[in-house]
Amino acid sequence: MLKAEKIPGFREECVLAKGLSLEPLAGPGDPTIIYIQPCTSIEGRINCEFQFGVQGQGTMEKLFDFAKLARILNTYADKFTESRVSTNLGVARVQWHGKTILVSRNGRIVIRESTSEVDAKETIEFLAKLLAASIICPECGDLVLNCSTAICGECGNQQVSLSGMSVDTSLKQAIQGTRSLVTVLNELRDSVEKGSVLGEGLDSFESLSAQCYRSSQIALDLIVQSKSRDGLAAGVLILRCAWDLSLILGILDQARRQAQRRLPSSQPESLNQLLSLWLIILKGAIDGIMDSRSRENASSRWILFRNASRAFAEEAKGNSELQTIVNSLAER
């Protein structure tokens, strides 16, 4: 996953800074390949197996969070001929560019029917970037997805921006699109909180959900196409924000449905405060890709977010509908 290089804003031991490596193995030949042999089903093709690890840390019993890995593969499903994931077994199976790829929870990768060893290693590079957000960082024990925004409280504590990176048109568009979603959802939050009908000009919940999903697809495109470590980090950060916005939209939709059924609102003030703070932080995180002050402000507010989450969880005790939101927050 990209060669090791310093990246601003992250501790050197974070996976975003260190990257993945193909772990050295005992034996002759290429020490990073567990095996490579001719494919028995298609002449001229090869099968091979690799082992991912974290540079300087080696192999890990649980490298990937499979719930997040499954979500990544589902979001990127239109790029694959087929993809299946068993979160219980910790195994994913993907058909991509004529190859069958098996990914295990511990980072073991099997590639079947590859055209060559070069093709296999290019596939490994693709997978290392695509699945980066689902890696469990050994430095903080949290997801790399959360390291990107500094919510983990460890890896992004330097609180500086990625402003030194090269910003191309696709990244600018991704930033603008995600920022626009933050603005619209903030207007929607305000509307739902007041109990009013959706304001004129606001998109439907279905349309906004589609926009959140599209933002996550764009983020994965940026991750896969990244040529530098900070570019990858920016893509992972946008993915985190897109998934958070999707969760916020679901919470607001729940409140809207309660209002339509003319039920008394069960949305406590602590949840309204949490959503408001959350959207402010997400906007700062997005702006912080190119602005150091915005990133610093957003990073420093995550502790407020955690405190607000705990306050809401306490108030939600005994309310089954609110408890689903608490569970979603815990799993994010």
- Ranges in the chain, pLDDT < 50: 1-5, 24-31, 159-160, 199-201
pLDDT of 321: 79
pLDDT of 156: 65
- Residue pair 59/106 in contact (Cβ under 8 Å)? The answer is yes
* The CA-based dihedral angle spanning residues 211, 171, 222, 119, taken in that order and rounded to the nearest 10 degrees: 140
pLDDT of 42: 80
pLDDT of 30: 43
Every domain of the chain with CATH number 1.20.58 lies at 169-331
pLDDT of 184: 92
Residues 6+ apart with CB under 8 A from 63: 52, 53, 54, 105, 106, 107, 135, 136
Per residue in 243-281, pLDDT (tens digit) is 999 999 999 888 777 666 655 555 678 888 999 999 999
Buried b (16+ CB within 10 A) or exposed e, 203-235: eebeebbebbeebbbbbbbbbbebeebbbbbbb
Every domain of the chain with CATH number 3.30.310.10 lies at 15-147
Structure tokens at 114: 């590859």
Which amino acid type is present at position 223? I
Q: Give the pairing type, strands 82-86 and 99-104.
A: unpaired
pLDDT of 27: 39
pLDDT of 58: 61
Q: Is 49 helix (H, G, I), strand (E, B) or coil?
A: strand
Question: Regarding the domain delimited by 15-147, which CATH topology (the fold level of the hierarchy) does it fall under?
Answer: TATA-Binding Protein (3.30.310)
Structure tokens at 70: 């499954």
CATH number of 169-331: 1.20.58
Question: How far is Cα 195 from Cα 197, in angstroms, rounded to an integer?
Answer: 7
